[in-house]
Structure 1
Amino acid sequence: MFRKMYFFLYFFAYLIYSLPTLKKVKQLPPTMSVDERDRVQHDLPKRWARNLVGITGSTITVTGNEHIPSGPVLFVSNHQGNFDVPVLLGFVEKPFGFFSKVEVKKIPFIPRWMEVMNCVFVDRSNRRQALQSIKDSVALLKEGHSMVIFPEGTRSKGGPVGEFKTGGLRMAVDANVPIVPVAIEGTYKIMEQSKFGFKCADVSVRILQPITSHLGEEKADTKALAAHIQRVISDELQA
């Protein structure tokens, strides 16, 4: 319980402390390269996320950073628990934005940083808005920013990897960028398995070989692509 109290105290106190930095990164010169701008804008959020995970006492092991191509990519990950977000944000080397549900906008301070990090908010109950969110994400990918999606749409909490929805994968096809599968194991043990507070857990993040079969294919079969990526991640988790 003490860990949980400290977690939320740190969660919001650090965000308030970061407001002057947020103002500065919003004023970065437009002459900066995309890579340099993303590195600067993501530096503080990455440290914040690593510290949040550290408060839980969990150990994070990341393999496969060498598989990440240069330039923009779409990370596609399974979704085990609420800690998937801070784990990926804090421990994957390449900066990226999230394709996030619009409800996150209700959390104080968080949306301000997410906008700077090129995150896109989606209202799944509004089809027109959801389609526009995908278009916005495609534009960001074309500009050179990377994104991450959780195509299961809900947390598996340690169960089998759920069916991957195809909508988000359209981003990689339309933006013509590689897809990097990510297999996460153990994040659900931190929060979802704990009735009170947090549990420390051993978490593995395995970054897999990029998928490029869709590149240059405007009419790529996203349903087959989704099934293939789901199978690749499932096989990795069962290995």
Structure 2
Amino acid sequence: MLKLIRIILVAICCVLICVLGTIFSLIRFRHPSNVGVMARWFGRLYPLFGLRVEHRFPDNVDQNVPAIYIGNHQNNYDMVTISYMVRPRTVSVGKKSLIWVPFFGILYWATGNIFLDRDNKNKAHNTMTELARRIQQDNISIWMFPEGTRSRGRGLLPFKTGAFHAAISAGVPIIPVVCSTTHKKIDLNRWNNGKVICEIMQPIDTQSYSKENVRELASHCYDLMKKRIAELDAELAQVGK
């Protein structure tokens, strides 16, 4: 019964956010801060899932320096956990098919996000070039999930290199964002589903990297994020004892 109530409440809230958010975003059509506003609206829904979410930000988080943020992509619960971490003047890159998701697709477009055609390698490459241009020209940051898909309990998946090519081309840092593991830890029939920690890590300078050693940069970021996720999981396990 609790699960059904939660599903209904979440569905109502999501539709309301999408409708009101679309109106808001059309008024400020594709403003670069629209995405962050909408992400935080969704990120406030976590109590409906029986979660407590701690958001950890570094002291320099509001310096508003253009960067490419990379996050771990676990499952649909990312909508109410890691999404809250999206900063002002940050837009995301998502697959082209998102436009067809009822209510959400039009919101995703109106807020100013960037669509990626993953089935066309040439278009995908051009999108990365376009990202670098927009970062420099519009003074914005980009949010990406370098795994390319939800991990669904498989741990941190290998990173694709698109985000790292774009960061090197634009000459901006990579900023990892991590969320503790949520796979199989949320039961919608359970009142209390515990705590989740989301954290923005320190920027990683890309100046010493080039397209020739871009995979080295991706591997470095992967190792840092994997280690930090394990540390967050261990911290939560210790608290739960």
TM > 0.5: yes
What is the CA RMSD across the aligned residues, in angstroms?
2.7
Structural mapping, 1:91-170, within 5 Å: 91-142=85-136, 143-170=138-165
Match of 1:209 among 202, 206, 222: 202
2:238 alignment partner in structure 1: none
Question: CA 1:206 to 1:44, structure 2 compared with 1: closer, same or farther past 3 Å?
Answer: closer
User: Superposition pairs for residues 69-108 of structure 1, below 5 Å?
Assistant: 69-108=63-102
Contact 1:164 1:230 (8 Å CA) reproduced = yes
Asked whether the 8 Å contact 1:65–1:92 carries over to 2, the reply is no
Change (3 A) 1:185 1:70: same
The 3-state SS of whatever aligns with 1:6 is: helix
Which is worse superposed, 106-115 or 85-94? Answer: 85-94
CA distance in 1, matches of 2:112, 2:191: 29
SS at the partner of 2:54? strand
Match of 1:56 in 2: 49
Q: Residues 92, 98 of structure 1: CA spacing in aligned structure 2 closer, same or farther, 3 A cutoff?
A: closer
After TM superposition, give the deviation of residue 210 of structure 1 in Å.
0.7
Return the letter of the residue paired with 1:118.
G
Identity score, percent: 23
Aligned structure 1 segments of 4 or more residues deviating by more than 6 angstroms = 195-199
Residue in structure 2 matched with residue 24 of structure 1 by the alignment: 27
Structure 1 contact 4–198 (Cα < 8 Å) conserved = no
Q: Using structure 1 for the length normalisation, give the TM-score.
A: 0.81
| TM-score (ref. length: structure 2) | 0.80
Unpaired segments ≥5 residues, structure 1? 28-36
Distance 1:195 1:21, change over 3 A: closer
Preserved contact between residue 51 and residue 193 of structure 2 (Cα < 8 Å): yes
Q: Does 3-12 or 217-226 show the bigger shift? A: 217-226
Determine helix, strand or coil for the equivalent of 2:76: coil
Q: CA deviation at 1:163?
A: 1.2
